[in-house]
Amino acid sequence: MLETVRWKRMNGTDLLPGKLRIIDQTKLPKELVFLELDEIGEIVAAIKRLSVRGAPAIGCAAALGLAATAQHIETDSAERFIAEVETLAEKLAASRPTAVNLFWALNRSLSHLIRCDISDVSELKRELLREALAILEEDIGMCRAIGEHGENLIAENAGILTHCNAGALATGDFGTALSPMYAAHEQGRVFTVYSDETRPLLQGSRLTAWELNRAGIDVVTICDNMAAQVMKEGKIDLVMVGSDRIAANGDAANKIGTYGLAVLAKHHGIPFYVAAPTSTIDASLAHGGLIPIEIRDPAEVGAAEGVRVYNPAFDVTPNGLISGIITENGLHRPPYHFH
């Protein structure tokens, strides 16, 4: 399995010193390049430019990145160390606004650091890293559990439509939406995955199709605007996507274009599933209208010179269009009431 986010030890078996190691997803599928990072500016930049992307992977990278940058803080004061870590966390939190896992992982790391009640700064640095590694290990476990709970939705010879990338490249392990597919494939089930291009940055054709093909799973790439026709032709039995933030009522934010797929699936009588760990659920938001939507650089969208561009990175699928939400705790059916 691809190791999208990991900790690279720089001195044998010692936890520290070390670096955050990520796959640079901007280079895929032409090159498989790993980045080893330990400076706040380069980690923030990597998240912003989507070298690491996908809500769970962003959370894991932020926690490990916080530990990587905090190891360079020079002070003997625990109070001063924690204050500087908080400043680093604020910079990481400002990198992207929609993926709730980013803020969840940083808040968990900071809370753990404060609860430790340790005065030795070198030990605090290790505790920060241990918590980040725990977040990564839990994400790996959650990915596997999502696969186990969702694989029975995939019948033999099924056609599955997915959007963007919610696989190994978006998490610490098997992924979220792709995890049931990997689990079904491990059991010998045969099926076809239709991977939307996912414009404008083509995460579906560049990333999802690449990793599924690499794993030996039958995958077909289609343009985003072909989905309705492919559904009409009877090639799609279910839609399975990930999410970057889920509100308490089950409204789910995912890569732009997901909402349209849910509307099309409803029209054609095709079940539409969202797969995400519980860390993606933001129970503080009553509904999806409260989810902040990232607006990205207009340069990502091809347009005539002088023409204004509107480039939202996400949309929100209303809960009424979602047949089920798969988490590590099982398959949740509507009505959704997350706390």
- Closest-CA residue to 91 (of 113, 115, 68, 62): 62
Q: How large is the average pLDDT for residues 36-61? A: 97
pLDDT at 314 over 80: yes
Q: How large is the average pLDDT for residues 271-292? A: 97
Q: How large is the average pLDDT for residues 78-84? A: 97
- Of the candidate ranges 8-12, 56-60, 265-269, 310-314, the one whose mean pLDDT is the lowest: 8-12
CB contact at 8 A, 48 and 102: no
- Closest-CA residue to 329 (of 132, 186, 134, 150): 150
Ordered by start, the domain boundaries in the chain are 5-144, 151-332
The verdict on whether 251 is a catalytic residue reads: no
pLDDT at 99 over 90: no
Q: What SS3 state is found at 104?
A: helix
pLDDT at 104: 96
Q: What is the pTM of this model?
A: 0.93
pLDDT at 228: 98
Per-residue model confidence as pLDDT tens digits over 206-239: 999 999 999 999 999 999 999 999 999 999 999 9
Rounded to whole angstroms, the Cα distance separating 296 from 315 reads 13
Show contacts of 299-305: CB within 8 Å, 24+ apart. 300/200, 300/201, 301/200, 302/200
pLDDT at 167: 96
Q: Say which CATH topology domain 5-144 has.
A: Four Helix Bundle (Hemerythrin (Met), subunit A) (1.20.120)
pLDDT at 13: 82
Q: What is the mean pLDDT of the chain?
A: 97
Return the percentage of the chain with pLDDT > 70, whole number: 100
Confidence of residue 163 (pLDDT cuts 50, 70, 90): very high
pLDDT at 117 over 90: no
CB contact at 8 A, 70 and 128: yes
Indicate the residue type of 9.
R
Which CATH number describes the domain made up of 151-332? Answer: 3.40.50.10470
Rounded to whole angstroms, the Cα distance separating 78 from 71 reads 13
Question: Which H helix or E strand runs over 275?
Answer: strand 272-275
Residue 336 DSSP label: P
Per-residue model confidence as pLDDT tens digits over 174-205: 999 999 999 999 999 999 999 999 999 999 99
Confidence of residue 12 (pLDDT cuts 50, 70, 90): confident
- Of the candidate ranges 2-16, 42-56, 266-280, the one whose mean pLDDT is the lowest: 2-16
Region of 306 please: left (phi>0), alpha (psi -120 to 50) or beta: left
pLDDT at 93 over 90: yes
pLDDT at 41: 98
Listing DSSP states for 193-261 in one string gives: EEEE--TTTTHIIIIIHHHHHHTT-EEEEE-GGGHHHHHHTT--SEEEE--SEEETTS-EEEETTHHHH
Out of 38, 196, 237, 244, which one is annotated catalytic? 244
pLDDT at 326: 98
